[in-house]
Structure 1
Amino acid sequence: MQDILMIEDEVNIAEAVRFILSREGWQVALHADGAGALEAIRHHRPRLLILDLMLPNRSGTEVLADLRADPDAELAATPVLMLTARGQVDDAAAQADHVLSKPFDNADLRAIVRGMLG
């Protein structure tokens, strides 16, 4: 089980988040697009999913809807932190446990993740 799986297509953001969170002691795996995202989630079985709203090949909202509908109840209940560059969050993203707008403060990210992972 991986602590955190981040699905983010912007390499600089993904690597920065991995660096910030790994310094806090968490293990962070990365996946770059919406295609195959559910398979990556099933493979890693993360304690927390950080999911970008705007992904190539399949949107974060579609990935989140698929996750919440998964027949594996434990997997479907995975806590999700949705990242968005948009000012507004649509209804599908509202299924996330927390939403954080880009750009974000590193301290805010750490605090949110700490709160979500307990």
Structure 2
Amino acid sequence: MPVEILIVDDAPNIVLSLEFLMKKEGFSVRSASDGEEALRAVAEKKPDLVLLDVMMPKRNGYDVCEAIRADPALHGVRIIMLTAKGREVEQEKGLALGADDYVTKPFSTRELVVKVRTLLGLQSESGV
């Protein structure tokens, strides 16, 4: 059964590029464009990992992260927060709410793939 990643971002171009990148790595991918849609998607089918934007309409990434961590049925879901907000205080807030990692936009796609594979306990296809 392929590893499933949920991409949550309100910028269609970022969703498309992340979908392409993750599918290329062999992952099954779904996407959501706002916080409420993300929580519905997670409740419908538990993903292995969520790539979660911070600044989104309806519910921000911090709220979504907190809601996922508060639900015992979602134990084990990994969360990488993606944001243009790179200040240390934002990173600390994301990690304090339960994010497993925090990546600042713009990011290296190679670095992101390594972080995803590491969090999921997978060896990189390229040995990275």
Using the size of structure 1 for normalisation, the TM-score is: 0.90
Identity of paired residues, percent?
38
Contact 1:8–1:31 (Cα < 8 Å) also in 2: yes
Larger radius of gyration: 2
Aligned-residue offset at 1:77: 3.4
Alignment of 1:8-19 (within 5 A): 8-19=9-20
Aligned-residue offset at 1:44: 2.4
Using the size of structure 2 for normalisation, the TM-score is: 0.84
Q: Which residue of 1 aligns with 2:124?
A: none
Runs of 4+ residues over 3 Å off in structure 1: none
Contact 2:34–2:59 (Cα < 8 Å) also in 1: yes
Q: Which residue of 2 aligns with 1:37?
A: 38
Bigger relative contact order, structure 1 or 2 (CA pairs below 8 A, ≥6 apart): 1
Aligned-residue offset at 1:37: 2.1
Superposed CA deviations along residues 70-92 of structure 1, whole A, max 9, x for unmatched, are 142xx043110000101222544
Q: Which residue of 2 aligns with 1:64?
A: 65
Give the root-mean-square deviation of aligned CA atoms: 1.5
Q: Partner letter of residue 83 of structure 2?
A: T
Q: Which residue of 1 aligns with 2:109?
A: 106
Aligned-residue offset at 1:101: 0.4
